[in-house]
Chain A
Amino acid sequence: MKLPTDIGKDCARAWDAMPWSLQNSATRDQDEWLNQHLAQCEACRSEFELQSRLRLAISLPQDVPVDVDAGLRRLLARIDAPDTRAARQRSRTSWVTRALVAAVLVQAIGIGVLGARLWSEASQADYRTLSQASAPLPTGAMHVVPDDTMKLADWDTLLHTFRLQVIGGPNEVGAYTVVASDGSTSSRDTLQKLRTTHGIRLAEPVANTP
């Protein structure tokens, strides 16, 4: 017999009808038509015999021994027993849920901390607007204007001698802002000495605006 893909429509129809006829689920008309076709088509008859044998073989009782009574007893025992499997499953699910919740909380806290840090950094901008007050200078700060001819080495020596350090400047008029390098408040004496030092054009205390 050829396959129904390359034969006449009748054989293809017979091929399709065989399982249902063997199942006794085909209509009477289908059965009659199939019987008529089988009577005149040897190939389909041979196929139908094969299909009948297949159905007969499949209908044999199964050959893997499984005790129905023992199985039923085990199922009933499983129903009677506390649902340990389900409880284990629930417990496992519960632990998984808790772990997930903990992970989410940790992430939320982490995101919160990072967010707060970023926010605080963002609030301290790298620039200052004209409406913002300038940062107050430390107490004891002075504006010092060295002479144009003063050498850098002399300026360094002077700062070292008076224990001063530059914290700003020079501004548009050439004034440096200096404070005591040890953190102490520069004394009036230091100011006087600076004023009398050769090469210093101006030394004035900084007056912070309230």
Chain B
Amino acid sequence: MTEADIDADATDRMLLQRMSAGDRAALAVLYRSYHGRLCRFLSRLTRRSDVIEEVINDCLWITWQKAGTFHGDSRVSTWIIGIAYRCGLKALRQHGDEPVDDDALSEDRFPAHCPDEDRELRDWLAKGLSRLSADQRVVIELVYGLGHTLDDVAVIMQCPVGTVKARLFHARVKLRNTLPALAGDPPIRKESMP
């Protein structure tokens, strides 16, 4: 954990403490602080903005209610992302799984300022992720996007570290198979894959 991570966690703990005393301003700060991360994390599970907002609000609602019961066994961010993961899975059961697909990358989804290079990169990533299972997409996002360790991911997904390793390994192998070809490079020989 870097110095910045330690500082961020200390801030989050202080916010939780204030929230447990009913401080809504602290909730607002925490909400804004986590909104971007949660949006991107949840967008690996669903492309529906209404569902993403619903899950974020469910997650922060639970965080608000349970702020006083946080014992500090993990980082606050690990705890909150774990809640979001479970809320996200629940929402998927209610609304149906909508994996990342090519249609999700229609023109109107990108911000107006999105440079072409970014768009190309997003397109490349989305096509690669669409080949993965929901759990593999989540592991990739947690490790490469949110920068969690394997132990953190195991806590978030409530599974053994070995399972996380396996998911990460298979996700990387799949991406190795597909991403170079999507970028116009020669495809990787399939027979070398397990």
Contacts and interface: CB of A to CB of B under 8 A. Distances in A.
Interface in B30-51: 31-32, 35-36, 39-40, 43, 47-49
A130 interface: no
Interface in B167-181: 168, 172-173, 175-176, 179-180
A: contact size bracket:
35 or more
Interface stretch (B7-15, B75-83, B119-127): B119-127
Contacts of A66: 35, 39, 49, 52-53, 56
A50 B39 contact: no
Interface residues of B, number: 51
Contacts, number: 118
Interface string A34-65: 00000000000001001101111111111111
B194 A68 contact: no
Given A64-B109, A66-B39, A19 B168 contact: yes
B179 A54 contact: yes
Interface of A: 2-3, 5-6, 15, 19-20, 22-25, 47, 50-51, 53-68, 70-72, 74-76, 78-79
Interface of B: 1-2, 24, 27-28, 31-32, 35-36, 39-40, 43, 47-49, 52-53, 56-57, 60-61, 64, 105, 109-111, 114, 118, 121-122, 124-125, 128, 140-141, 143-145, 147, 149, 168, 172-173, 175-176, 179-180, 183, 192-194
